[in-house]
């Protein structure tokens, strides 16, 4: 099976974990501090705060930004559910606006239309590894004094006009979950230049504790372990190499799949780099098979294709009360019915790519 994602771990990660085990210091300690320092240096921010998931990073960011009940937060309905759940976790109201059909990222024009006096923040997502339309959205955020919390969980290492994903907002959330471009099994990082935010998040990950047993506000146990941080430190050193391999694989797929009727290939919008956490095509009516048929047939041939994401985030039991009806975000609903993601990770061989290209050509009519 050519898997949709594959961990890429070397001797360096093994040695680093061994070192932590031998030290006896497994909980948050020096490796977490080293990981934070490395991420701040990599992204070019003043602060990086490590937590135990990308979801915790989003939750901590909204908390630090002071978002809570009575506030509205605008985001996209075409993302992983964590992007929306974090808004519910702080008791704010998610306001969902449609995507741009080319990049699959939030459409800034639709954001502008959704702003009310209660709007406090926007969460753009760098979906599949491509940064959101920063210039357009930043102008809107500045005009209305809105905080941008960038969900860059799929986009570590990509950039917009040379600015790294994660720094395209007031707070940037990164994930080290097993399927991301670099990983620690689980893990999350928030990068920011704002000291007050960084301090609030460091308390938030530890039950709101400031000085020893001085609880300043509500918090959780969102600490990262040194075991995970040790893996993350080694992975971050390899991020650019991994991303270059993903870009090379994406280019080879695009070259091989060009010109097939009913198959729309991924595009990178101007001013940005794409790090291809996923290589996502659209299957349109002209292709002759449905999205699900393509996925099933590819899987039957040993190719781990997947649908990211099959339904808008407003169509689940816990989000139904938000009141979005079918048709609310037509571009999102269309994308949900058309997208198919293909393996693009750095472990793919040239033969794997040739197999995938041949399989898809074989399905096309």
One character per residue 16-55, x = contact with ligand PLP (rule: CB under 6 A): -------------------------------------xxx
Asked whether position 188 contacts ligand PLP by CB under 6 A, the answer is: yes
CB of 342 to ligand PLP, least distance (A): 17
Structure tokens at 253: 């797929």
- Residue with smaller CB distance to ligand PLP, 156 or 360: 156
- Residue with smaller CB distance to ligand PLP, 53 or 249: 53
Residue with tokens 């955020």: 141
CB of 39 to ligand PLP, least distance (A): 14
Burial class (CB in 10 A: 0-12, 13-18, 19+), 203: buried
Scanning 76-84, 89-97, 141-149, 220-228 for contacts with ligand PLP by CB under 6 A, the matching segment is 76-84
Scanning 147-155, 256-264, 295-303, 332-340 for contacts with ligand PLP by CB under 6 A, the matching segment is 147-155
- Residue with smaller CB distance to ligand PLP, 175 or 280: 175
Asked whether position 87 contacts ligand PLP by CB under 6 A, the answer is: no
Q: Do the Cβ atoms of 133 and 269 come closer than 8 Å?
A: yes
Residue whose CB is nearest to ligand PLP in the complex, by number: 54
Among 80, 104, 132, 134, binds ligand PLP (CB under 6 A): 80
Number of H helices, E strands in the chain: 12, 12
DSSP string, 319-358: GGGG-PPTTSSHHHHHHHHHEEEE---TT--HHHHHHHHH
- Any bridge partners for residue 93, and if so which? 72
Among 177, 242, 309, 314, binds ligand PLP (CB under 6 A): 177
Long-range CB contacts (within 8 A, 24+) of 290-299: 291/337, 291/338, 291/339, 291/340, 294/340, 294/360, 294/363, 295/340, 297/359, 297/363, 298/340, 298/342, 298/356, 298/359, 298/360, 298/363
- Positions that interact with ligand PLP (CB under 6 A): 53-55, 79-80, 82-83, 125, 151, 153-154, 175, 177, 188
């Amino acid at each position: 099976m050519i898997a949709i994602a594959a961990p890429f771990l070397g001797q360096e990660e093994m040695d680093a974990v061994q070192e932590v085990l031998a030290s006896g210091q497994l909980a948050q300690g020096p490796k977490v501090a080293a990981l934070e320092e490395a991420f701040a240096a990599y992204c070019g921010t003043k602060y990086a705060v490590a937590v135990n998931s990308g979801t915790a990073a989003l939750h901590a960011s909204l908390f630090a930004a002071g978002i809570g009940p009575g506030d509205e937060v605008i985001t996209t309905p075409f993302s992983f559910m964590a992007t929306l759940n974090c808004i519910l976790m702080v008791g704010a109201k998610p306001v969902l606006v449609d995507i741009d059909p080319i990049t699959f990222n939030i459409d800034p024009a639709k954001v502008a239309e959704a702003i009310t006096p209660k709007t406090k923040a926007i969460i753009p997502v760098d979906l599949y590894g491509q940064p959101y339309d920063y210039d357009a959205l930043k102008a809107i955020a500045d005009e209305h004094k809105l905080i941008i919390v960038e969900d860059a969980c799929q986009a570590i290492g990509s950039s917009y006009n040379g600015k790294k994903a994660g720094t395209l907002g007031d707070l940037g959330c990164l994930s080290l979950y097993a399927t991301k471009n670099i990983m620690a099994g689980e893990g999350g990082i928030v990068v920011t230049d704002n000291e007050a935010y960084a301090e609030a998040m460091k308390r938030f990950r530890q039950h709101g504790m400031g000085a020893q047993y001085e609880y300043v506000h509500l918090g959780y146990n969102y600490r990262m372990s040194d075991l995970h941080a040790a893996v993350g430190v080694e992975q971050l050193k390899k991020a650019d190499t991994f991303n270059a391999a993903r870009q090379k694989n994406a280019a080879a797929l695009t070259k091989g799949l060009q010109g097939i009727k009913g198959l729309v290939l991924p595009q990178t919008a101007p001013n940005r780099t794409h790090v291809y956490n996923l290589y996502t095509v659209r299957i349109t009516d002209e292709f002759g098979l449905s999205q699900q048929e393509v996925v099933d047939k590819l899987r039957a041939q040993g190719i781990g294709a997947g649908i990211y994401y099959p339904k808008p985030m407003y169509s689940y039991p816990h989000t139904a009360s938000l009141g979005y009806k079918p048709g609310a975000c037509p571009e999102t609903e269309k994308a949900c019915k058309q997208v198919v993601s293909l393996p693009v990770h750095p472990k793919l061989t040239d033969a794997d790519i040739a197999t995938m290209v041949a399989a898809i050509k074989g399905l096309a009519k």
